[in-house]
Amino acid sequence: MPTNVTPEYKKAEEAYRKAREPKERLDCLKEMLRTIPKHKGTEHLQADIKSRIKQLTEELAGPKKGGRKSGPTHVVRPEGAAQLCLLGPPNAGKSSLHAKLTGSHTDIGPYPYTTHLPVPGMLPYEDIHFQLVDLPPVSQDYMEPWLINALQPADGVLLVIDVSDPDCLEQVPAILERLKKKKAFLTPSWPGLEREERKKRAARTEQSKQTKQTERQEQS
């Protein structure tokens, strides 16, 4: 069902995508909720916005009274339909891709290790928003010690490489090996996807058998 959002909502959404400070993002979310058309087609989107408002409000409120104080964290709180992390070697173009897809103001430079901290951004697709997190690069020689923790809440990891780099074929196994040493493994497909594909193939095979059987009966 189409959402038919207003120009005011689109403006607030664009501001949210570009916002970096939690308070600024919270204000944008409130404006998005205020200007979004209230009908059945936007119910899912309204619920998503309200959830993000609640999370940011709690984050800005800080730890509850009597709670244990903690230092800065490198784990990004998941938002939207899914959290996807961008991982890759130095100068692979992760930050440029992140900025292009989310409108973020992440640092981009011609030198390696431009990204030092996780940079979250929202990638809209129709009525769904995905959280895209740009992470520091991984090489055979170095990986941020906290990076594995940053991957924990992610629903998926996108491995980004520069195919024009002559070393790209060596970079991928080097990254996988470094992750393996930390007991982190990347799989080529979503969990359960292979099982679903087997079900679809079995259904197509069964349908083909039934079609052939029907054709033989008609011929006889």
Q: Are 52 and 98 within one domain?
A: no
CB 37 within 8 A of CB 5: yes
pLDDT, tens digit, 9 for 90 and up, residues 87-130:
999 888 898 899 899 887 665 554 445 567 888 999 988 888 99
pLDDT confidence bin for 72, thresholds 50/70/90: very low
Tell whether 146 and 101 lie within a shared domain. Answer: yes
- pLDDT computed for residue 80 by the predictor: 87
Confidence at residue 85, expressed as pLDDT on a 0 to 100 scale:
94
21-60 residue pLDDT tens:
778 888 988 998 899 888 877 887 888 788 778 877 877 7
Q: Do 87 and 56 fall within a single domain?
A: no
Examine residue 194 and state whether it is found in any structural domain, yes or no: no
The answer on 36 and 89 residing in a single domain is no
Q: At what angle do helices 43-61 and 22-35 cross, to 10 degrees?
A: 150
pLDDT computed for residue 83 by the predictor: 92
Residues 120 and 150 in one domain: yes
pLDDT of residue 189: 65
Residue 48 lies in a domain: yes
Rg (CA), the chain: 22
Buried b (16+ CB within 10 A) or exposed e, 60-97: eeeeeeeeeeeeeeeebeebbbebbbbbbbbbbbbbeb
**What percentage of the chain carries pLDDT values higher than 90?**
12
Tell me the mean pLDDT in the region 143-161: 89
Pair 48, 105 in one domain: no
Mean pLDDT of the chain: 80
Backbone angles phi and psi of 11, in degrees to 5 = -65, -45
Residues 133 and 46 in one domain: no
User: Residues 94, 115: contact at Cβ < 8 Å?
Assistant: yes
Pair (118, 165) in one structural domain: yes
C-alpha to C-alpha distance for 158 and 94, rounded to whole angstroms: 10
| Helix, strand, coil content of the chain in percent (nearest 5) | 45, 10, 40
More confident residue, 66 or 126: 126
Domain match, 92 and 173 both: yes
Question: No. of H helices and E strands in the chain?
Answer: 7, 4
pLDDT of residue 23: 83
Which domain covers residue 90, as residue numbers? 83-181
Q: Tell me how far apart the terminal alpha carbons of the chain are, to the nearest angstrom.
A: 48
C-beta of residue 87 within 8 angstroms of C-beta of residue 135: yes
pLDDT value of position 24: 86
Residue 201 belongs to some domain of the structure: no
CATH code at 157?
3.40.50.300
- CB 135 within 8 Å of CB 124: no
- For residues 131 and 161, state if they share a domain: yes
Instruction: Indicate whether 94 and 55 sit together in one domain.
Output: no
- Contact yes or no for 158/87 (Cβ under 8 A): yes
Domain count, the chain: 2
Residue 217 is assigned to a structural domain of this protein: no
Report the SS3 class of residue 129.
strand
Q: Are residues 41 and 129 in the same domain?
A: no
